[in-house]
Amino acid sequence: MKVKKWFRIPISLTGVLMCFTLLYSMEVLALASDRSQPIELEADTADIDDLKGISIYTGNVVLVQGSMVIKAHKLTLYNDKNKDLEKAVAVGKTGKLATFKQRPEGKEQDFRARARTMIYYLKKDKIHLLKNAYVWQAGDTFSGDKIIYDTKRETVVAKSRKNKDGQPIKSGGRVKVTIQPKSNNK
């Protein structure tokens, strides 16, 4: 019979150092210039289950690695059996969405996103933004109920919210896109 290891610690310098070993594999979440930077994580609490490979950070969570910043009410990290990070789920709370910011390689402006829930699939290089999703960079914006951002190809797919009959909701649920002219996109 396996004994469940479950730690509940308030985040402090000691907590960050303990979490660093779990987050070490998170370097793949960042773009090339950010991967060599240290990961800094702050939260009100951390719940770490080594046997299940799940770490849950709650309360004003801020994760920073180089130019990448994730802010959320709750951040859950899922590791595979080799302790490599597979998925990160950031969740906002009522009235405050989870946010993501990063400076892509060779770009002059940050890529920014916000949503009620963000799911980062590291091996697929994709971020799924769910509920009140919004993405912007250099004046271009995308909003919808669900946005899928491919970090490798820098592509965006946005979907509208549907009613119970599967039809797009007309007020506030439709996809909205703004693309700046090339002369403004320097």
Task: Give this prediction's pTM.
Answer: 0.74
**Mean pLDDT, rounded, for 148-163:** 80
How far is residue 139's CA from residue 129's CA, in Å, rounded to a whole number?
19
The domains located in the chain, with CATH, are: 7-184 (2.60.450.10)
**Residue 184, CA distances (Å) to 135, 140, 141, 176, 180 in order:** 18, 10, 14, 19, 6
Is residue 15 predicted with pLDDT exceeding 50?
no
Specify the 3-state DSSP secondary structure of 178. strand
Beta bridge partners of 77: 55, 88
How far is residue 148's CA from residue 123's CA, in Å, rounded to a whole number?
14
pLDDT category at 158 given cuts 50, 70, 90 is confident
How far is residue 129's CA from residue 65's CA, in Å, rounded to a whole number?
20
Question: Which of residues 102 and 42 earns the better pLDDT score?
Answer: 42
DSSP category for residue 154: T
Specify the 3-state DSSP secondary structure of 30. coil
Is residue 16 predicted with pLDDT exceeding 50?
no
Q: What is the pLDDT of residue 7?
A: 39
Is residue 71 predicted with pLDDT exceeding 60?
yes
List, for residues 90-149, the tens digit of each pLDDT value.
999 988 999 999 887 777 888 899 999 999 997 888 999 999 999 988 888 888 889 998
CB neighbourhood size of 167 (10 A)? 10
Residue in 74, 24, 88 with CA at minimum distance from that of residue 46 = 74
Q: What proportion of the chain, given as a percentage, has pLDDT over 90?
A: 33
pLDDT category at 21 given cuts 50, 70, 90 is very low
How far is residue 154's CA from residue 177's CA, in Å, rounded to a whole number?
16
Average pLDDT over the chain, rounded to an integer: 77
Q: At residue 167, what are phi and psi to the nearest 5 degrees?
A: -95, 145
Give me the residue label for tokens 């970090």.
151
DSSP category for residue 167: P
Q: What is the pLDDT of residue 60?
A: 96
Q: What is the pLDDT of residue 129?
A: 95
Listed range (23-27, 62-66, 84-88, 179-183) with the worst mean pLDDT = 23-27
